[in-house]
Amino acid sequence: MRRTRRGALRAAVPALALTLLPAVAGCGTAPPPGTAADKAGQAGSPRTLHNCGHEVALKHRPQRAVSLDQGSTEILLALGLADRMAGTGTWTDPVMKGLEKENAKVERLADGYPAMEKVLSEEPDLVTASFSATLDKGGVAPREKFAGLGVPTYLSPADCAKKSGSNGDGARRAPLTMDTVYGEVRDLAKAFGVQERGERLVADLRARMRKATEGVDAHGTSVMYWFANSESPYVAGCCGAPGVITRAVGAENAFAGTHDEWPQVGWEAVADRDPDVIVLGDLTRENQTAETAKAKIEKLESDPVTRHMTAVRHKRYVLLPGAAMNPSIRTVEGVEKVARGLRDLHLTEHAK
């Protein structure tokens, strides 16, 4: 099996009560259970989503969805759908700020990949995922296996746009754009019959992108993104979520020459690129070495190959949750934090 940034920790936790409160700020408020608006949301005619070469046929608006990756989970929570989620799995970080109360209402089936049997025990009427590896052998189960059992699945369009690459994360033919993420939001909002909430969420994300990048131009500044692994680090190639962030702030990716999403490279290659800034994944999972930003900094500042690099000598680090380095609504958070970090480091032409 190809190596990948993602592991398969399996650890179930106790179920939590499922009730509904307001969605994340800026994303609208879901109707209280039992109201006419709520009952309308539970009804609805059959609909079909065209998704990554599959037709996702939904007989009704899902009432027991299981989301298998953090990015997919956070979209559903931001849409105010906690009451229609039966479980989640595969986490790298704490849930997005503002969604803590919503997330606490949904059972976490596992921190990593839950067993397929555990997913099926929740009687899901829709299974969503951010990564094709999750819905494949070595993940939870292939889409075809779910389909054979009558369970529809939805995969993030940001991931199915990739092709097989030299590593388990694949490669991109073309740079990812936020329009793909917005399309995922709209797809899921349509599936659940909450299109207005979807449009409000997209509008909020667009506004945050504009605000974060106003007056920011980091032209001439090279940035490297390190997700995890101290022996052979996973760094960002040209065209995934870090590419969205880099283009938004006008900087240059130190590894822009590769279309692999997250190639593993040697430390000599990193030192040769000598980036001006290193964006560090600050993960809370324990699947790889150097998951936390603290562990990454210790590695960089103690290794004789890296400790003399420009970014290391000047301690030019920007910390990001791992979820913000994947294609999702958290990519906007990545833009906000990198833009703020570059301003603080005085590496933007119009720093404020």
Give the residue with greater pLDDT, 246 vs 35.
Answer: 246
Give me the CATH code for the 217-344 domain, please.
3.40.50.1980
Cβ-Cβ contacts under 8 Å for 294 (sequence gap 6 or more): none
pLDDT band at 261 (very low <50, low <70, confident <90, very high): very high
Name the CATH superfamily housing domain 36-208.
Nitrogenase molybdenum iron protein domain (3.40.50.1980)
* Number of other CB atoms surrounding residue 222 within 10 Å: 20
Q: Is it the case that residue 133 has pLDDT exceeding 90? A: yes
Q: Is it the case that residue 19 has pLDDT exceeding 50? A: no
Nearest one of 164, 147, 322 to 234, comparing CA atoms: 322
Give the residue with greater pLDDT, 317 vs 38.
Answer: 317
Query: With pLDDT > 70 as the criterion, what percentage of the chain qualifies?
Result: 85
Give the residue extent of every domain in the chain: 36-208, 217-344
Task: Look up residue 31 and give its two tokens.
Answer: 């109707």
pLDDT at residue 166, as a whole number: 58
Q: Is it the case that residue 168 has pLDDT exceeding 90? A: no
Provide φ and ψ at 10, rounded to 5°. -120, 115
Burial class of residue 343 in the structure, from the number of CB atoms within 10 Å of its CB (0-12 exposed, 13-18 middle, 19+ buried): middle
Give the residue with greater pLDDT, 189 vs 163.
Answer: 189
Q: In whole angstroms, what is the distance from residue 67 CA to residue 60 CA?
A: 17
Q: In whole angstroms, what is the distance from residue 98 CA to residue 184 CA?
A: 20
Q: Is it the case that residue 5 has pLDDT exceeding 80? A: no
pLDDT at residue 238, as a whole number: 96
pLDDT at residue 164, as a whole number: 66
Q: Could you tell me whether strands 317-320 and 54-58 are parallel, antiparallel, or unpaired per DSSP bridges?
A: unpaired
Q: Is it the case that residue 11 has pLDDT exceeding 90? A: no
Task: Look up residue 327 and give its two tokens.
Answer: 């294609």
Sign, CA torsion 78/205/282/227: positive
The model's pLDDT over 38-55, given as tens digits with 9 standing for 90+, comes to: 444 445 668 899 999 999
Task: Look up residue 67 and give its two tokens.
Answer: 């989301």
The reported pTM is 0.86
Q: Is it the case that residue 109 has pLDDT exceeding 90? A: yes
Q: In whole angstroms, what is the distance from residue 132 CA to residue 127 CA?
A: 12
Q: In whole angstroms, what is the distance from residue 99 CA to residue 30 CA?
A: 13
pLDDT band at 352 (very low <50, low <70, confident <90, very high): very low
Alpha-carbon 301 to chain mean position: 28
pLDDT at residue 163, as a whole number: 73
Sign, CA torsion 249/252/258/264: negative
Q: At what angle do helices 330-344 and 195-213 cross, to 10 degrees?
A: 10
The whole-chain average pLDDT of the chain stands at: 88
The model's pLDDT over 209-247, given as tens digits with 9 standing for 90+, comes to: 999 999 999 999 999 999 999 999 999 999 999 999 999
Q: Identify whether the C-beta of residue 252 lies closer than 8 Å to the C-beta of residue 245.
A: no
Are both 36-208 and 217-344 of the same fold?
Answer: yes
Helix, strand, coil percent content, the chain, rounded in steps of 5: 35, 15, 50
Provide φ and ψ at 322, rounded to 5°. -55, -35
Give the residue with greater pLDDT, 159 vs 18.
Answer: 159
pLDDT at residue 15, as a whole number: 31
pLDDT band at 167 (very low <50, low <70, confident <90, very high): low
- Which parts of 204-337 are beta strand (E)? 222-228, 234-235, 252-253, 277-281, 317-320
- Ranking 9-13, 90-94, 111-115, 224-228 by mean pLDDT, the lowest is 9-13
pLDDT at residue 44, as a whole number: 60
pLDDT band at 173 (very low <50, low <70, confident <90, very high): confident
- Ranking 160-174, 261-275, 292-306, 336-350 by mean pLDDT, the lowest is 160-174
- Which parts of the chain are beta strand (E)? 47-51, 54-58, 65-67, 85-88, 126-129, 153-155, 162-163, 171-172, 222-228, 234-235, 252-253, 277-281, 317-320
pLDDT at residue 287, as a whole number: 87
